[in-house]
Structures are given as structure tokens and as C-alpha cells.
Chains A and B, each alone.
Chain A
Amino acid sequence: MSSLPVLDVQKLKTYFYLEQGLVAKAVDDVTFSVYPGETVAIVGESGSGKSITALSIMQLINKPGRIVEGSIHVKDKDLLNLKPKQMTTIRGNHIGMIFQEPMTALNPVFTIGNQITEMVRKHKKVSKQIAEQKAIELLRIVGIPRPEQITKEYPHQLSGGMRQRVMIAMAISCEPELIIADEPTTALDVTIQAQILDLLLEMQKRYNMALLLITHDLGVVYEYTDKVIVMYGGQIVEQAPTKQLLSLAKHPYTKGLLSSLPKMDEDVERLGTIKGTVPAAYNFPVGCRFSTRCPFVMEKCKQVNPELLQYDTDHLVRCHLYEEGGERQ
């Protein structure tokens, strides 16, 4: 990890300007980096800002949303100061993206071969024949049987797992340094999920890419990632190496999430719960954003939002309990 990060996000703020002057702070002061060959997970519930973080990196934020502050670097390129046309070459060449729903991410009126060759030719100056060869080769790499035939088929003719393999083939077509996968297996059955995640990791090793995996599934996080970022209310509330975070979770939110999972290896009569629901992004509570649901809430939490503190080497936590003089310090 001595080298420079592939992705470096500093103090990123993405706000949505809604009607009646409301401002939804979907991503609010997020800082993290991803190194070559590393797999980093962003976990959180719906509305935590994890997907908006990914879309901000790809600069796919549309009105009324806007990146208000911060910087995003991929290698030495400062993405927020690029022209739209320059950004197009970054997407695909340097960052590949895989979305949750492969049926909506693929164009239904073009064949699979068409869509991959278009992608290849957009980023590399090659002839049509060479691009077609490349498409077949890519499909073979991602484990699609009969790739010559599949290139002539349309997305609806493939199963969900196969479509996701096509998405992966397109994402790796230009050998990017970074792959962002937003809930890539949420729409898939568990046996297919295992196939797809194994494939993603295999591709990552093969091309030495960094992988940013956005998910809500802590089981997936445990088995497939090196580092975890937990998001709540548009902010990072905890960050640590995967094993450390799952065994020594510090933030009350992370602890709550872990205890609410049904366990496969033990029987519990009742699951732990986090009371209430995620607050809306335009109506966060004053002070700590988790204070309305936190079982350890203190007076201070309702007034001051805590800073992201270094609890241990590589282990960051945003909670007053761990501040100097705090209870758990």
C-alpha cells in the first residue's frame, strides 16, 4: 500500500436543491481513498448516501443535485476540474462501473456484441473487426459459454446472472484502474451472487484493479473486502479494516446493524433492532445525525455533530463516546 491511491476523495459534498428551499445533504463531507489492488466496501442503509457517493465519483449527478465542495482524484487527475468531454475518457478508460440492475443498464434494442464493440471503439482507436474479436474474448474471460453466439443476442435473451457478466465484461474492457460496483448482486439469487462476486474478484486480481463495492450486505463485506466504510446520513460514521470493523465495531450504528442480522451459526430468539427509521436527507437532526435512534444518546449528541476521530491505527469513528474525556475513551 506504499503507492499512491487510485482514488482519493477529499471532503466531498453533494447536495440536492429541492423545492421550497430544502437542501438534501446526500453526501456531506466524505473523505476516503482506495489503493491499487484493494477492495473497499461502502455499507449503509437506503438513504445513507452510498450510491450518491459512487455517482459523484463518476460525475453522473444530475440537477437538482450538485457537487458543492471537495475534490476527487483518480491517480493524478483532478476529476472536478475536467471538461465533460475529458470526463468521458476517464469513464471506461480509468473507472469502470457496474450497476445493480443489468436489465436497465444495458440497451434493450442493441445486441450484446454491438454494445461491447461500441464501448471498445469509443475508448480505443481500433477497427470494427478487432473490436468484435475483443468483445468475444471479453465474454470468454467473464465465463460466458458460446460467446460468438451471445454477441448476436439481445439483453432480454439472457438471464440476470449472464447480464451481470456482460456488464463486468464491459467494465473491464479498457482495463481501468478502478471498478465501482453498486450493489452488483442485489437483484440476483444467492448461488448466482457467489458466481458473480467470485468473478469480480478474479478480474480484480487479473488486472490489478482497485474495487469499490457498494453494498448493504455485511456477509458480502466480510467475505470479499479488505476495508469497510460505514455511511449514515451522508457521512462516514466508521471506517476500519474489514475484520477489525466486524469484530470490534465501535459506533452504535454499526453495532446495531450487526446485531440486527439473523445469524446462520447460532439461534437467537429476538433480533437486535435500531429504533425508528433513517431521517430524510433534508431534515437531519441537529447534532449527531444518529442521535434520534442511538441507544447511548447524551445531551452533547443533540447539539454537536462529532468529528470523525482516529480510534486506532486505520480505525476511524464518528461518536462522542470515544472523544477525549468521553466514556469509552
Chain B
Amino acid sequence: MTMVTKQQGAIDEKRSIDEDVLVDVRNVKKYFSIKGGILQKTVGQLKAVDDVSFTIRKGETLGIVGESGSGKSTLGRVLIRLLDPTSGQIIFNQTDITNLSQRQIRPIREDMQMVFQDPFASLNSKMSIEQLIEEPLLVQGKLAKPARKQKVLEVLEKVGLRKDDLQKYPHEFSGGQRQRISIARALVLNPNFVICDEPVSALDVSIQAQVLNLMKDLQDDLGLTYLFIAHDLSVVKHISDRVAVMYLGRFAEVAPKKQLYENALHPYTQALLSSIPIIDLNEENAKKERIKLEGDLPSPANPPSGCTFRTRCPKVHDRCAIDRPELIEIEKDHFVACHLYSER
């Protein structure tokens, strides 16, 4: 036991001196209590995020894909401390932010911002665009009025909106433009880390492309680091450097995008990739074999024992019901949690 701790300590030391790492997430869990009965006692635990560890390097985009209920949005909210983790550690820019109070975390939030999915719900309809973009600056309370106005104009231009738009209200804009406003709001504090939770899934494809291009340009201009959460694998592939596949609160596979999309190892990733309908006009390509998954995602309140994917896995064997597979490195930077690869 002591040896394990020692080893763990050594790894921690090695990780923390790596200055390229902006976000370091260690064994984070987020459980929600399920209350029941007349006394509202806790009758169960919903394991939304169950022991997830990863790092994001400066300037990198980590994509997280998963189906609804996989815990990807909860993970994003825990990272920015909109939700408190049940256990684990979140280290942002060499600072442990896991246990900071709301007051202590406020200056750090300048550096980490979030863009939400629904641009219709995330903007206050009674505030003008100028007020909306200025609000984060007011909360931080560092700049005087003229400097604030200057900053608002600067950001507005960056996201491709015009000065005349400042006095308009959210209802006067289309979905794509509203998402530009949300991005402006996130960027006005000059963050270096932005968590994007399904930022384009409510948009039409031609508009989605505009917003994705904008996000890439901003990343190049401002040196942003992104955590990009989405269910659409082609969008995640386009924007990410590395991709993590989540299933029932855990990472099934993490790899640089080329490896993940060309050489997926986890049966779940393989099934996901084969389920996406794509346009393939090259007659010579063999018609892809679709791996059909039976059934639905099990409830995270009552996940299967061992490997949580075993109830739908086409390659399930005896061991899967007993042991939970750990995430292991198969080739450089390519991690997979599956017994098919751990038995070597």
C-alpha cells in the first residue's frame, strides 16, 4: 500500500512540474444523491462522473464526445466549479482549485470561461448586447467605464459583430449571431481556457461552420485552450487535437484525433464511429460495416458491474462483469479502458 502511494507521489510530482499543462484533472468524481421516501433520505447515488483523470496542455483543444447521459456536461461544469466535485483534484494553471471558496475562485474564473449550448436560453433577453458583453467586466470590477466600453468594442469586432449591434437585444439576432455574442461574453475577460458545451449543436450546418471557423481563428489569435464538449463526432474531429470518448461517467478511450478516428480500439468508439451516416462517394471504398449496438444507455443511477459498457458490447466476455477495466496506454498518448487490451 505504501509503495503504491509512493509511486503515486512520484507521478504527481512529475506531472506538476510540467508547465505546459494548463488543466490537470485527477480522479474526479461527481455523484448526485437520489432522495426518496417521506423523509427525503438518500436512497442511491447517481454517478454522473466516476473517476476521470486527464490533462489539457496550453493551446490544445481536447474534445469530449459521448451520448446523452454520459456525464460530459457535468464534467465541464465540475471543471469550472459550477458544481463541486464529490472527490478528486482539479489543478488549473498550477493552482489547486478543488476546495477554493466562491470568493477565492472569482479571480481565477477570469481565466476560465464557458460557452453554453443554447444561445436562446443563455442570454438575458432584457439586456442589450452592450450590457451583456459588459456584465463580466462589471462583476470583476477592475476597469473604469471608458476602458470597459473600449474592451467591449474590441471583443465585438473579434467575434464579427458590428458596432450598430450594441444597442440591440438578443431576440433581434439569429442563433448563430447569438452564439457569437455568447463567445464575446466569454472572451471579454481575456481568459486562456474556454469550456464549450455543445456550442454549435443548436445551429444549422452553414451557420455551424461559421461559428467553428470563428472559434478556430480566435484560438490562433489569442492562444486559447479549449475543452470542447459535443455529441457530434465530425464536429469534434474538426476542432480537436485530442479526443476523449465518455461512456456512463468514465473515459472509454482517449487519443490524438488521428489515432482515435483511424484506429479506434474500444468497442464503444468503434460502434460510435460506424453509426455516423457519412457521405462517401468514392466507389472503391468498401461499404462500411455497421456495428449495431443493442439497447439504450443504462441508467447512471444503476450502472452495470465491472465494465459499464458490457451490457451493449459485441465483444463482451466473462471478465467484463467482474473487473472494471482501467485506462491504460496502448501506444503513445493512446489510452483505452477495455479488457481486450489489458490481458496481454
Q: Does A118 contact B (CB under 8 A)?
A: no
- Contact digits for B225-241, partner A, Cβ 8 Å, 1 yes 0 no: 00000011111011000
- Contact digits for A41-81, partner B, Cβ 8 Å, 1 yes 0 no: 00001100000000000000000000000000000000000
**Residues on B with beta carbons closer than 8 Å to the beta carbon of A278:** 174, 204
Smallest Cβ distance from A252 to chain B, in angstroms? 12
Contact B271 A45 (CB under 8 A): no
**Residues on A with beta carbons closer than 8 Å to the beta carbon of B208:** 260
Which one of B67, B174, B271, B275 lies within 8 Å of A277 (CB-CB)? B174
What DSSP secondary structure best describes chain B's contact surface? Answer: helix
Contact A243 B281 (CB under 8 A): yes
- Contact digits for B294-319, partner A, Cβ 8 Å, 1 yes 0 no: 00110000000000000000000000
A262-B238 in contact given A191-B272, A273-B213 (Cβ < 8 Å)? yes
**Residues on A with beta carbons closer than 8 Å to the beta carbon of B161:** none
**Residues on A with beta carbons closer than 8 Å to the beta carbon of B177:** 277
A194-B275 in contact given A189-B231, A262-B238, A271-B238 (Cβ < 8 Å)? yes
A219-B209 in contact given A191-B272, A195-B292, A277-B176 (Cβ < 8 Å)? no
Q: Does B68 contact A (CB under 8 A)?
A: yes
Q: Which of A191, A198, A273 has the most CB of B within 10 A?
A: A191
Q: Does B279 contact A (CB under 8 A)?
A: yes
**Residues on B with beta carbons closer than 8 Å to the beta carbon of A109:** none
Contact B213 A224 (CB under 8 A): no
Count of chain B residues near A, Cβ 8 A? 37
Q: Does A323 contact B (CB under 8 A)?
A: no
Contact B278 A222 (CB under 8 A): yes
Contact A264 B206 (CB under 8 A): no
Assembled-state Cα–Cα distance A28/B267 (Å): 48
Which one of A190, A197, A220 lies within 8 Å of B231 (CB-CB)? A190
Q: Does B290 contact A (CB under 8 A)?
A: yes
Smallest Cβ distance from B1 to chain A, in angstroms? 41
Contact A191 B293 (CB under 8 A): yes
Q: Does A270 contact B (CB under 8 A)?
A: yes
**Residues on A with beta carbons closer than 8 Å to the beta carbon of B280:** 222, 265
Smallest Cβ distance from B180 to chain A, in angstroms? 12
Q: Does A314 contact B (CB under 8 A)?
A: no
User: Could you tell me which residues of chain A, from 209 to 233, have a CB within 8 Å of some CB in chain B?
Assistant: 216-220, 222-224
**Residues on A with beta carbons closer than 8 Å to the beta carbon of B293:** 191, 194-195
**Residues on A with beta carbons closer than 8 Å to the beta carbon of B174:** 277-278
A247-B281 in contact given A216-B204, A261-B234, A277-B176 (Cβ < 8 Å)? yes
Smallest Cβ distance from A103 to chain B, in angstroms? 13
Contact A190 B275 (CB under 8 A): yes
- Contact digits for B168-179, partner A, Cβ 8 Å, 1 yes 0 no: 000000101100
A219-B277 in contact given A189-B231, A190-B272, A264-B237 (Cβ < 8 Å)? yes
Assembled-state Cα–Cα distance A264/B264 (Å): 13
**Residues on B with beta carbons closer than 8 Å to the beta carbon of A277:** 174, 176-177, 207
A-B contact count (CB 8 A): 109
Q: Which of B177, B209, B292 has the most CB of A within 10 A?
A: B209
Q: Does A257 contact B (CB under 8 A)?
A: yes
Q: Does A89 contact B (CB under 8 A)?
A: no
User: Could you tell me which residues of chain A, from 263 to 284, have a CB within 8 Å of some CB in chain B?
Assistant: 263-265, 268-274, 277-278
Assembled-state Cα–Cα distance A222/B285 (Å): 15
- Contact digits for B193-209, partner A, Cβ 8 Å, 1 yes 0 no: 00000000000111111
User: Could you tell me which residues of chain A, from 112 to 136, have a CB within 8 Å of some CB in chain B?
Assistant: none
Contact B292 A272 (CB under 8 A): no
Contact A191 B204 (CB under 8 A): no
**Residues on B with beta carbons closer than 8 Å to the beta carbon of A159:** 296-297
Closest B residue to A293 using CB positions? B206
Contact B212 A265 (CB under 8 A): no
Smallest Cβ distance from B217 to chain A, in angstroms? 9
Which one of A224, A260, A269 lies within 8 Å of B205 (CB-CB)? A260
Contact B206 A191 (CB under 8 A): no
Contact B277 A263 (CB under 8 A): no
**Residues on A with beta carbons closer than 8 Å to the beta carbon of B271:** 191
**Residues on B with beta carbons closer than 8 Å to the beta carbon of A262:** 209, 212, 232, 234-235, 237-238
A264-B296 in contact given A191-B271, A246-B281, A270-B216 (Cβ < 8 Å)? no
Q: Does A285 contact B (CB under 8 A)?
A: no
Assembled-state Cα–Cα distance A161/B280 (Å): 26
Q: Does B276 contact A (CB under 8 A)?
A: yes
**Residues on B with beta carbons closer than 8 Å to the beta carbon of A265:** 278, 280
**Residues on B with beta carbons closer than 8 Å to the beta carbon of A246:** 279, 281
Smallest Cβ distance from B238 to chain A, in angstroms? 4
Assembled-state Cα–Cα distance A270/B220 (Å): 12
User: Could you tell me which residues of chain A, from 232 to 271, have a CB within 8 Å of some CB in chain B?
Assistant: 243, 246-247, 256-258, 260-265, 268-271
Closest A residue to B299 using CB positions? A159
**Residues on B with beta carbons closer than 8 Å to the beta carbon of A198:** 290, 292
Q: Does A292 contact B (CB under 8 A)?
A: no
Assembled-state Cα–Cα distance A193/B276 (Å): 9
Top-8 shortest CB links A-B: A260-B209, A219-B277, A262-B238, A271-B209, A189-B67, A45-B204, A274-B206, A194-B275
Residues on A close to B: CB < 8 A? 45-46, 159, 161-162, 189-195, 197-198, 216-220, 222-224, 243, 246-247, 256-258, 260-265, 268-274, 277-278
Beyond A191-B67, A222-B279, A271-B212, 15 additional contacts (C-beta under 8 Å) are A194-B275, A194-B292, A218-B279, A222-B280, A223-B277, A246-B279, A256-B206, A257-B206, A258-B279, A260-B205, A261-B205, A262-B232, A268-B238, A269-B216, A271-B209
Residues on B close to A: CB < 8 A? 67-68, 174, 176-177, 204-210, 212-213, 216, 231-235, 237-238, 261, 271-272, 275-281, 290, 292-293, 296-297
* Contact sample, A vs B, 9 pairs, CB 8 Å cutoff: A45-B204, A189-B297, A190-B272, A218-B279, A262-B232, A263-B234, A264-B233, A274-B206, A277-B177
